[in-house]
Structure 1
Amino acid sequence: MDTVDTVNEASLSAIMQIPVAVQVVVGTATLPLSDIAALHAGSVIHLDQTFSAAAIILVNGKPVAKGELFVTEGADPRMAVSITEIISPQP
């Protein structure tokens, strides 16, 4: 392996360690500001997605995949998402 390959491999390794924000979107809603101001504990916001619709996985705000939500098993159950589809990048 020559020096250029070693540098490229080291650079790629460093880049792969950069943290990125991952979000899972289960739905959205558009509300007038008056409705937002009136929110309180117990308020319900109706989302645009049906319960069975795929969640959208965003990486740094860009959609990269779709998935299904589930709850993990064990002593400390957590919400999780199982990837069902990779979204092709948009130009």
Structure 2
Amino acid sequence: MSEETERQESEAQEAVNETESTEVEAGSDEPSGKLVKSGGRAVKATKSSKSTNPEIEKMERILDIPLVLSAQLGTSRMLVKELLQLGPGSVVELDKLAGEPLEVLVNDKLVARGEVVMVNEKFGVRLTDVVSPTERVQKLR
């Protein structure tokens, strides 16, 4: 894992820890659209709580943390000597079957599964299954 990835995960974990016990005060009926964790569940923050609640500001900090998203088609294990023998035209067999969903990872943590699609001459992923937000936060620990 790279030093940058470790730093990002550390920042994310710190922010998650700071917001776990957040209580949102309902001073206005007008929602701001921001989600905040309160007592183990996500709640919408109000506009008045956004400006007066420091916990909201902590949550907003983690929303701007850059993450590395990767799509993993499959994996393979090999010996060093096999790795050294690889060259142009070599074929590496992966552990997934053709047509199986690929895994979408953020900082090496599974967040979704999907299928390969083409988007403007580039590869993309159509998500077919997404890990719940609660499970994603738990995987950060």
Runs (4 or more) in structure 1 with deviation over 6 Å come to none
Task: Give the secondary-structure state (helix, strand or coil) at the position aligned to 2:82.
Answer: helix
Query: Partners in 2 of 1:86 and 1:60 — Cα distance?
Result: 16
Per-residue CA distance 1:12-70 (angstroms, 9 max, x = gap)? 22221110111111001111111101111111101111120001011111111100111
**Structure with greater helix share of residues:** 2
Matches within 5 A, 1:48-63: 48-63=95-110
Q: Which amino acid aligns with 2:116?
A: L
The TM-score, its normalising length taken from structure 2, stands at: 0.55
How many residue pairs match? The answer is: 87
**1:83 and 2:130 correspond:** no
Q: How far is 1:4 from its partner?
A: 3.5
Q: Which has the higher contact order (CA 8 A, sep 6+)?
A: 1
Give the gaps of 5 or more residues in structure 2: 1-47
Query: Partners in 2 of 1:11 and 1:87 — Cα distance?
Result: 24
Same amino acid, percent of matched pairs: 26
Task: Give the secondary-structure state (helix, strand or coil) at the position aligned to 2:83.
Answer: helix
The TM-score, its normalising length taken from structure 1, stands at: 0.82
Q: Which amino acid aligns with 1:71?
A: M
Give the gaps of 5 or more residues in structure 1: none
